[in-house]
Structure 1
Amino acid sequence: MSIRAKYQITEYCHRFLQDYIHEGDHCIDATCGKGHDTEFLCRLAGKTGRVYGFDIQMEAVEQTRIHLAEAGCAEQAVLICDGHENMGKYVEEQVSAIMFNFGYLPGGDHSIATNARTSLQAVEQGMKLLKTGGVMSLCIYSGGDTGYEERDALLAYLKGLDARKWLVIVHSYYNRKNDPPLPVFVVRLA
């Protein structure tokens, strides 16, 4: 792995999350994209765990399905072509981790992207499903095609969470230009 790869936002989030996920856990990839985060969650949850992967684009769901089959992780995953704001309709059990990558499918149509309204709904749904001691990661991409509305709405919402029940950690790539991605972690305390 190159030095640069170690500092990509997804790798950074993986490193943070790995201490929260154990064999047999249930997890959610709220924006499965090409399936790399789904695979990561499947490997940590193991053969007895379950990972739910959501995406609104059938192309992304199919890319994830192919990726998981090639990685030998397909049996642990339930892939759903629906918006992440609807995760509560499909997931009944408490989960250890939820991963979000806000923005658009890399290499995909930039006009199809997450938005403030549905992303806030999805975070709220995820908070209801997250078990005590569980964690949610939010990779927030802003600027360019995606604008700032979603980032600002998510950060404002998270800032208002009850500090006795939720720990919110916002990191930044402080010396990177052009609106670098923002890694955010939300831990359920109670």
Structure 2
Amino acid sequence: MIFLPNIVVVIKMGFKSFVNTVDLAKKIMYYYVKSGSIAIDCTVGNGNDTILLSKLVGKKGKVYGFDIQPVALKITKEKLFKENLDKRVILINDGHENIDRYIFNEVDFIIYNLGYLPGGNKSIKTEIYSTLESIKKSLYLLRKNGLLLITCYTGHEGGLEEKEGVKDFLKELDQKEYSVLKFNFLNQKNNPPVLFGVEKL
């Protein structure tokens, strides 16, 4: 089991229970995001999290997706239309640091997958300063007991510095206001990603 305040994520122990941090993030999403939830995907990429969130929030929920690359939004929009999920999602072609220009109400769940678009231009990637600005604004938008997940990739140029910056920021959050956890694989090679989870108390 993984314990968060007011949340218990039960993971069946057995073969490949802990595959990677992306898989763990999905397990948490399945458990936490409910029909009617409002969620934000701050790094749409190829749309995998956006698609999953749009299914989990149901017809009464809403998903906002941010990406600076039009190609990422095009890919995601096509996937949404194919599965008839497009009416639940608002895609925004802007940096996630501008989240407060588009969203003004409290939200239930926010997710980040930092780094570059898989299969895309590796020189276009998230940067520590804009990422931290976005996280600060996301924490403000998060409702009480809302959940924020951040997956940091460290194998690309600037990735390690971004991960360390996120970690340093999160560990200074007031424990009376937020609970923060870090999940990473200690024995995996080739720069395994790190997952941070934040719950607003």
Aligned to 1:88: 100
Contact 1:47/1:76, CA 8 A, preserved across alignment: yes
Equivalent pair of 1:34/1:67 in contact (CA under 8 Å): no
Matched with 1:37 is 49
Equivalent pair of 1:20/1:96 in contact (CA under 8 Å): no
Are the counterparts in 2 of residues 30 and 100 from structure 1 also a CA contact under 8 Å? Answer: yes
1:65 counterpart residue number: 77
What is the identity, as a one-letter code, of the residue corresponding to 1:129? L
Aligned to 2:111: 99
Shift of 1:73: 1.2
In structure 2, the residue matched to 1:26 is 38
Of 184, 187, 193, 1:181 maps to 193
Could you list the per-position Cα deviations for residues 52-103 of structure 1 after superposition, in whole angstroms to 9, with x for gaps in the alignment? 0000100101111011112221110000000001111101111110010000
Whether the aligned pair in 2 keeps the contact of 1:20 and 1:134 (CA below 8 Å) is no
Deviations 1:146-172 (A, max 9, x none): 431111110000000000110101011
Q: 2:136 is matched with which residue: 124, 131, 134?
A: 124
Q: Is the 8 A contact 2:38 2:108 kept in 1?
A: yes
The residue aligned with 1:11 is 23
**Structure 2 regions of 5+ residues with no counterpart?**
1-14
Identity of aligned pairs, percent? 35
Q: Which runs of 5+ in 1 are unaligned?
A: none
Pick one of 58, 65, 77 that aligns with 1:53: 65
| Counterpart residue type for residue 188 of structure 1 | K
SS of the residue corresponding to residue 62 of structure 1 reads: helix
2:148 to 113, 133, 136: 136
For 1:112 and 1:186, the matched residues in 2 are separated by 26
Give the CA deviation at 1:4. Answer: 6.1
CA contact (8 A) 1:110 1:145 kept: no
- Please report how far the alpha carbon of residue 143 of structure 1 lies from its aligned counterpart in structure 2 after TM superposition: 2.8
TM-score with structure 1 setting the length: 0.94
Aligned-pair RMSD on alpha carbons? 1.5
Quick one: distance in 2 between partners of 1:11 and 1:144? 21
Kindly tell me: are residues 57 and 4 of structure 1, through their superposed partners in 2, closer, same or farther at Cα, counting changes over 3 Å? farther
Q: Give the conservation status (yes or no) of the 8 Å contact 2:152–2:159.
A: no
Count residues with an aligned counterpart.
Answer: 187
In 2, distance between residues paired with 1:34 and 1:113?
Answer: 14
Instruction: Indicate if the aligned counterparts of 1:169 and 1:186 stay in contact, CA closer than 8 A.
Output: yes
Which residue of the partner structure matches residue 145 of structure 1?
Answer: 157
